[in-house]
Amino acid sequence: MRLMTAVVALILLALPSLAQTAHSDSQTLDAILAELREIHNELRSTRAMQILLAELQAKQGVVNQALERVDREKSGLVQIQVDQKRTSSEIDSAQDKLEHSSDAVEQKRLTEEVERLKAGVPAFKVQEQARQSAFDEAEQRLRDSQDALEAVQDQLNAITKKLSPDEH
Report the pLDDT value the prediction gives residue 168, as an integer from 0 to 100.
Answer: 43
Report the pLDDT value the prediction gives residue 126, as an integer from 0 to 100.
Answer: 95
Residue 17 covered by a domain: no
pLDDT in tens, 52-67: 999 999 999 999 999 9
Residue 21 covered by a domain: no
Instruction: State mean pLDDT over 10-32.
Output: 68
Report the pLDDT value the prediction gives residue 82, as an integer from 0 to 100.
Answer: 95
Residue 15 covered by a domain: no
Report the pLDDT value the prediction gives residue 1, as an integer from 0 to 100.
Answer: 65
By the 8 A CB rule, do 59 and 146 touch? no
Q: Which residues contact 131 (CB under 8 A, 6 or more apart)?
A: 73, 76, 77, 80
Residue 4 covered by a domain: no
Rg (CA), the chain: 41
Report the pLDDT value the prediction gives residue 83, as an integer from 0 to 100.
Answer: 95
Global pTM? 0.66
Q: How confident is the model at residue 21 (pLDDT cuts 50, 70, 90)?
A: low
Class of residue 76 by CB neighbours under 10 A (exposed 0-12, middle 13-18, buried 19+): middle
Number of domains into which the chain is organized: 1
Quote helix, strand, coil % in the chain, to nearest 5: 95, 0, 5
Residue 12 covered by a domain: no
CATH number, domain at 102? 1.10.287
Residue 27 covered by a domain: no
Task: Dihedral sign for Cα 104, 107, 113, 115, please.
Answer: negative
Tell whether the model's pLDDT for residue 144 goes beyond 60. Answer: yes
Structural domain range at position 142:
32-163
Residue 36 covered by a domain: yes
Residue 107 covered by a domain: yes
Report the pLDDT value the prediction gives residue 119, as an integer from 0 to 100.
Answer: 93
pLDDT in tens, 88-108: 999 999 999 888 888 889 989
